[in-house]
Structure 1
């Protein structure tokens, strides 16, 4: 349902317990009066016809509601069936770092159609993202390159380079990020969503959160349960405060293993013709691992950029390509280019020619490092990488590697929200069985935490994202029917593998 390419990039970057939901005192939770939204036609390329955009000022620090503000870019696509309208449906973007304004521009019409005009479809750019107030850590270009920012271990498992870079990025953020960076938390995103609700004049919101957006949505539902109407969490991770953020990243090792068989079957399908990578699906994994190891020993270069084509480049492209079948040709093309027999520069385009933007680097690091306390024991990361790269060779130990959060100042920014079963029973979860980014095992942890508040629809499919994304008619119908009628399955259900027509 979202812009899959950008979300894949941001989600693949990521991966203090309290007794219950903690929030600031009511008098400090929001500004005294609701701001007026001055709507105007959206002008961004690809905006849905009739969509409107506005700017929402919110407190930089909700403990100081009359203090400095930051701007949040918001957008909406009004219901085209006023007689059917029942409220506002907010699309909570993934990431951290995904743009909800872009998501609405690209998918708003599809969402409005699937919900039969029951909602004004609305969304927002979280703090630091897109049209919202910028955040910048001043990280060097080299440290913002994907293969460096993610701290892929060397072929022998050494993480020394990653440790040095993680420390450098954390120092840059502490030096340059300021109060705007310190305000990047999931709890503040939940507060911003509630400010948006008030500005819209809605007593309650309905929502669809995808990927990281499920965690932001779950935190909102824990902090403001009485303000939730029909709540959808699509592709969830483990919400346990002991495993938030770093647990999501660690789980990507399992996710790649879960999702790879779908790619292997595709790559060995006779329908691929000359582009077929192997005669049997079971041959694809050892072929891939051998090729990655060969590139570890003898890297190639990309003809277009001259940058190194290493085993970790291939592993990174694979991990991102597992997000959906439409991305399989990307990694297959690189594999064929290397296997062509030519030892010179690879003609396939460099998949990472540009570094991450300053915004993307700052937002991702800010949210995941501010939300929870990470281990500061460098030796523990070395041990974890050594184990992970043996158990999950497809991802080469990267999900267990060190991040800037190991050297972050003053984390967590506030006590982490514990998601519980206390609240209205108005949540529908949907989860693919073979998700490379938010694997099923993590989704089950969210389901367990929510208890009777939720129902889980499991979809027998691979890829990341379910509703209006996987192509499973059963899963699409479950979400759309819930949003339109409020009807959920009586219990957790399974949608069999299928394709909607």
Structure 2
């Protein structure tokens, strides 16, 4: 295995640290391992303490579709303890289809209007029907541009198989793993498919299984309902500065007032109610974003004030959205009848009024060309007790119920650490001392908690 300098854009993101990169070939189709090969670009920040080095720690930041080549440097710059970097070579990667690995594209133009991994909020039934036309066009575009038939091979199971190929290519008998968000699903698949070659596994901010299905997407709305009160409390304590409401209840009331006004009349910069709701969801990922979110709200409450542009997210790179859609749609069967989504949106608009009519809305998976080529990877209790799960009690994307559901499937293979905190991401990113110490002790010394634990904020 030959290591060399990483691409310039990767080095720019890892500064002031420097990673080195190599390429690992893997089969496009694992049912024909001797057939077409694709490449994975893998990065490494190596341990400088050979006497303390345990092995490799594979990293995944989530997605699917996100680049992980800079993940080691990102975590180190956020404060990953030196005891971890001494114990492991930190291994990042662009998973199959992504970025500097053999990339795959749907060729989605901006005018299709599909700008986020979560469907837009449907203010009424007509909006669901309109979104169905967009979702169908997205799926048709992906199919039309997939002339080689490669998109069907973008699955979580294949990405997990790729991880074991990387381990073998690096000459390691076992590999440890840290994954957050979708990375928890990938890690759950990895440790389930390869219980004999996985070492210490940490799953952070969990999906409920080895895939994102419609139920999992709908639970995003539950996460918003559970997490929003933390922002509302923060904003109410700063009413003199932002004017969003003197109490959390008033802040919540203003959320609906802004959203419903923008449903009727978008702002001059194009901000709609759907965009406002999505922005609020995205800014709940961590309290470091509460100030910018409050500023956006402030300008929307007073349309005549000097505006801070509350625009939608930048149109995603086609590559990242392609991989997200392909993996999500290929992993499991999604309902294909529009009536199911219309009914679900109506239900979740009432059950989770802040965001339910977005996460229950129809996606391109309803019209996806390919059926799943195999069942999703099953999680069970067969294998060593080597999975440590970390979960914030309030998480807008992966609510705590997800971790509880996944924990049940793992049985005695796992321990769950629930943190009385808010946001998406626990280890290093969350700042909770108890969770940081427990996860570090496990990665470095193999100290698995004897039982499930809770950490205070």
TM band (smaller chain) = over 0.9
User: After superposition, what is the alpha-carbon deviation per residue over 1:293-335, rounded to whole angstroms, capped at 9, x for unaligned?
Assistant: 1111222122xxxxx2111111000000110011122321121
Q: Find the aligned partners of 2:188 and 2:67 in 1 and give their Cα distance.
A: 19
Secondary structure of the corresponding residue to residue 417 of structure 2:
strand
Change (3 A) 1:39 1:112: farther
Q: Counterparts of 1:432 and 1:373 in 2: how far apart (Å)? A: 29
> Aligned with 2:178: secondary structure?
strand
2:13 to 46, 55, 65: 46
CA distance 1:53–1:153, change in 2 (3 Å): same
Q: Is the 8 A contact 1:79 1:112 kept in 2?
A: no
Q: Which moved more, 1:169-178 or 1:80-89?
A: 169-178
1:326 aligned partner: 288
Q: Distance in 1 between matches of 2:166 and 2:442?
A: 23
The answer (yes or no) to whether the contact 1:42–1:52 under 8 Å persists in 2 is: no
Cα distance in 2, alignment partners of residues 489 and 150 from structure 1: 35
- Secondary structure, in 3 states, of the residue corresponding to 1:111? coil
Q: Tell me the equivalent position of 1:32.
A: none
- The residue that corresponds to 1:230 in the other structure is 200
Could you list the runs of 5+ residues in structure 2 that have no partner in the other structure? none
For 1:207, the equivalent position in structure 2 comes to: 177
Query: SS in structure 1 opposite 2:416?
Result: strand
Q: What per-residue deviation string (whole Å, max 9, x for no partner) do you get for residues 98-141 of structure 1?
A: 11102223224543625151111111111122211111112221
Give SS of 2:229's match. Answer: helix
Shift of the 144–59 alpha-carbon distance from structure 1 to 2, 3 Å rule, reads farther
Picking from 348, 361, 374, the partner of 2:334 is: 374
Unaligned runs of 5+ in 1: 1-35, 303-307
Q: What is the rounded CA distance, in whole Å, between the counterparts of 2:251 and 2:454 in structure 1? A: 29
Aligned partners of 1:240, 1:194: CA distance in 2, in Å?
16
In structure 2, the CA distance between the partners of 1:418 and 1:67, relative to structure 1 (3 Å rule), is same
Q: Which secondary structure does the structure 2 equivalent of 1:471 belong to?
A: coil
| Distance across 1 between alignment mates of 2:304 and 2:325 | 39
1:316 match: 278
Q: CA deviation at 1:245?
A: 2.4
Equivalent residue for 1:176, pick from 122, 145, 155:
145
Q: Say which of 40, 57, 79 aligns to 2:47.
A: 79
The equivalent residue for 1:275 is: 242
- The two structures have a TM-score, normalised by structure 2, of 0.94
Shift of residue 185, structure 1, vs aligned partner = 0.3
1:94 and 2:62 correspond: yes
- Rounded Cα–Cα distance in structure 2 between residues aligned with 1:390 and 1:212: 27
Q: How many residues align?
A: 451
- Aligned Cα root-mean-square deviation (Å): 1.8
**Rounded Cα–Cα distance in structure 1 between residues aligned with 2:338 and 2:410:** 34
Paired with 1:84 and 1:222, the residues of 2 have a C-alpha distance of: 28
Question: Which is worse superposed, 170-179 or 469-478?
Answer: 170-179
Bigger mean CA offset, 213-222 vs 356-365: 356-365
**Equivalent residue in structure 1 for 2:421, among 443, 448, 461:** 461
